[in-house]
Amino acid sequence: LQAVDFGLGAFIAAAFSGLNAQAGPKEYREFLGRPTNRKIYRHDANTPEEFLKAYRSAKAAEKTVGGAKANLIELPLIYYFRKPGLTNGTDKEVTRRGRFMFSEGDEPSAYKFTVIPLVLDYRLFFLAWDKPSLDKLQLAWYAYAVRNDKFTCRYQIGSNADVFEVPAYMQDHKSLLCADESVAPGQDMGRVYAVSTGMQVSTDVIFGAGVDVPDEY
């Protein structure tokens, strides 16, 4: 299921690609200028408090700047995770079995495979030092998700390098409910404004193995 996790991560990143980095709150503009791996994270923390604790621990070993520790927390940021468990697809979807052959090259690859429909639950979190930046993150995500509901999951089965691309779809992508998850000020950190929203992804999961190509083919 990591293929779905990675595909969803790319979908989230696309929501913040190509936006105007010259408009909006300062922290939000700084967020847009960071590389993707420093603004969007995949992490299993159930709450922003848990995530920030793990984030600070991971950053604590970084080098100092000018003899003093650099700011360990780069906000705003986004993280997401997949909840444990899964659900079968709708009644309109059916488990499929079949054979597939890549015909490119002198020695084509052949597979036997099974495709099963699944629905997976995810949670998406937005964190910021200030409300205006948090507002911009939520609105940018909503503006993208309401117009886009599809992304690609890439599977590799067997020992060959062939990649199967399977579509995934955001359910109810035009609906948005962001719940307050803000973190109260602590001794070593100010208030962190945060919200979370749920996501359901329906997709097909493919598995199988490579087989020898019969001579008659």
Predicted confidence (pLDDT) per residue in 110-143, tens digit = 788 888 889 999 999 999 999 999 999 999 999 9
Residue 213 CA to residue 108 CA, distance in Å, equals 8
Mean pLDDT, rounded, of the chain: 85
pLDDT tens by residue, 153-187: 998 887 667 788 889 999 999 999 999 999 988 76
Q: Detail the DSSP E strand segments found in the chain.
A: 40-42, 77-82, 87-88, 96-102, 109-128, 150-155, 164-170, 179-180, 193-211
Check pLDDT > 90 for residue 193. yes
> Which tops the pLDDT comparison, 173 or 102?
173
Check pLDDT > 60 for residue 65. no
Q: Which of 10-19, 31-40, 71-80 has the lowest mean pLDDT?
A: 71-80
User: How many beta carbons lie within 10 A of that of residue 184, not counting itself?
Assistant: 9
Q: Angle 131-145/26-33 helices, nearest 10 degrees?
A: 50
Write down the pLDDT at residue 212.
77
Residue 198: φ, ψ to 5°: -90, 155
